Amino acid sequence: MKWLKQTENGKKIEIQDDDKYDITKQFSSQLQNDEFWYTLLVKNVQAKDYTNYFCEGTNKYGSGDTTIALFGKILNFWLGCFLFCIKSKYSIKSI
């Protein structure tokens, strides 16, 4: 099982468990003996983390994959605030 991330140029790169990402294999009594949950935690999410993430796995039964899109509106909020602040700061008022 591996986690991948789509880069800005569209390539997939494998994600490692490090300061930015926490990859865990979880066990549960609700699963069969050879079944596991795999999770990816993206820490301190920023706009540059907004992209597609992929989970790919293979076992004796075959292979499978899924795509997860991480997105948000923080960038739009800050851009809107930035434009509003500039407009307010430099607006001309008639006397």
List beta partners, residue 56.
2, 65
Please tell me the predicted confidence (pLDDT) of residue 80. Answer: 44
Q: Name the pTM for this structure.
A: 0.69
CA distances from 61 to 11, 18, 28, 67, 94 (A): 28, 30, 20, 20, 75
Spell out, as residue ranges, where the chain has pLDDT lower than 70. Answer: 73-95
Contact present, 6 and 33 (Cβ < 8 Å): no
- pLDDT of 93 reads 35
Can you say how many angstroms the Cα of residue 25 is from the centroid of all Cα atoms in its chain? 18
